[in-house]
Amino acid sequence: MTPPEPAALVYVFAVCRGGDLTALAELPGLGTGAPVRTLAAGPLTAVVQDVPAAGFGEEALRQRLSDRDELERCARAHHAVITAVSALVPAVPLPLATLYLDDGRVREALGERRTSFLTALDRIAGRAEWGVKVYAPTGAPPSAPDAGPAPDATPGPGAAPGPSRPAATGSGRAYLDRVRTRQRDREQRHTLALRAAERVDTVVRGLAVAARRLRPHGVEVTGKHRTHVLNAAYLLDLGRERELRAALASLRRDETDVQIELSGPWAPYSFADAGIADGRIAEGGINERGPNEEEIDEGRISGERVDERRIDGAQVNGGGTSP
């Protein structure tokens, strides 16, 4: 006999070691009307919320996350809870839309991955994630000549066919030379930007305890005026923010061919992987991973933070922003 469908599922936001988390009950979470609560499982504590199965079952969830506006709403709600937890205790953020059939299944999952969670919590304790992006402007330098329109080598009506042909041929050759020059200049600027990005990465890695490269954003996020050449996350001890900002200020003075942006501090999405959520509803878990942290970073919703890097339509990777 097929068991009845549950009326509610358990949505898991994060895992921590416990502590005074009573303030979380005031959070709206996903806006289901149920309180955000904690669920103890040995040395670990999950931060969870009951959600209606009718709105968060597999098919309903798939439809929900395919709607850009609804995806953004869920991502921001997910991120807000994780940010609140991380402000109180070290916490491992779980991927967007991590769901279980009941409390017992959550406890089982935490028990199975206890060592991984405890290792991740040790790694992120006393640390925060920072995002660094480097962009290369795509426009030609002010001094670069415009290639201009291609010359028309075909004589017009009434034009003398003989003498005009050499001039047209010469104009066409000059035009192609200008096009090649502009292409070569673009390639050289891009190479210089990549080298500058590597120097930025080297400096920031020297301050960090861990670093992770994320997928650069495409033109749909950055716009046509610049190219994303470095998208990286760094895990730093909490006391190193001043050093980080000073290092980037110096790099901005030296690396004039690129734009350098800093964001954070964030909950450590990019460094808290504990091997969670495999999406097996039969075993009690649903994880429509679809939009993961890095993908939502397409628009850190990283490893992705909810700022311009985090709402594309699919790393909640958030916590704060910095110019």
Question: Where is average pLDDT lowest: 35-49, 76-90, 222-236, 280-294?
Answer: 280-294
Residue 33, token pair as written in the block? 């009307």
- pLDDT of 252: 96
Residue whose token pair is 């103890």: 40
Buried b (16+ CB within 10 A) or exposed e, 19-28: eebeebeebe
Tell me if 33 is assigned to some domain. Answer: yes
191 in any annotated domain: no
Q: Is residue 141 part of a domain?
A: no
Lowest mean pLDDT among 37-51, 63-77, 130-144: 130-144
pLDDT tens digits, one per residue of 216-241: 988 888 888 899 999 999 999 999 99
Give the mean pLDDT of the chain. Answer: 79
pLDDT at 179 > cutoff 80: no
- Identify the band that residue 61 occupies on the pLDDT scale cut at 50, 70 and 90: confident
User: Measured between alpha carbons, how far is 310 from 293 in angstroms, rounded to an integer?
Assistant: 8
Q: Which residue has the higher pLDDT, 187 or 108?
A: 108
Helix (H) or strand (E) holding 287: strand 285-287
Q: Which pLDDT does position 43 carry in this prediction?
A: 97
In this prediction, residues 98-125 reach a mean pLDDT of 95
Domain that holds residue 281: 8-113+275-290
Q: Report if residue 231 sits inside a domain.
A: no
Nearest to 291 by CA among 306, 305, 301: 301
What pLDDT score was predicted for residue 1? 53
Contact indicator for 25, 57 with CB cutoff of 8 Å: no
Structure tokens at 1: 């006999």
Confidence bin at 170 (pLDDT 50/70/90): low
Helix (H) or strand (E) holding 8: strand 8-16
Q: Has residue 306 been placed in a domain? A: no
pLDDT of residue 133 exceeding 70: yes
- Percentage of the chain beyond pLDDT 70 is 71
Number of domains in the chain: 1
Residue 317 has pLDDT above 50, yes or no: no
Task: Say yes or no to pLDDT of 161 above 90.
Answer: no
Q: What is the pLDDT of residue 112?
A: 95
Task: List the beta bridge partners of residue 160.
Answer: none
Instruction: Please name which of 25, 62, 69, 74 lies closest in space to residue 47, comparing C-alpha atoms.
Output: 25
Task: State the pLDDT at residue 8.
Answer: 92
Tell me, yes or no, whether 252 lies in a domain. no
Examine residue 43 and state whether it is found in any structural domain, yes or no.
yes
Structure tokens at 4: 């009845």
pLDDT > 80? residue 181: no
Paired sense of beta strands 226-237 and 127-137, if any:
antiparallel
Q: Quick one: pLDDT at residue 304?
A: 35
For 25-35, the pLDDT digits (tens) are: 999 999 999 99
- The larger pLDDT score, comparing residue 211 to residue 152, is at 211
In a domain, residue 19? The reply is yes
Residue 191 has pLDDT above 70, yes or no: yes
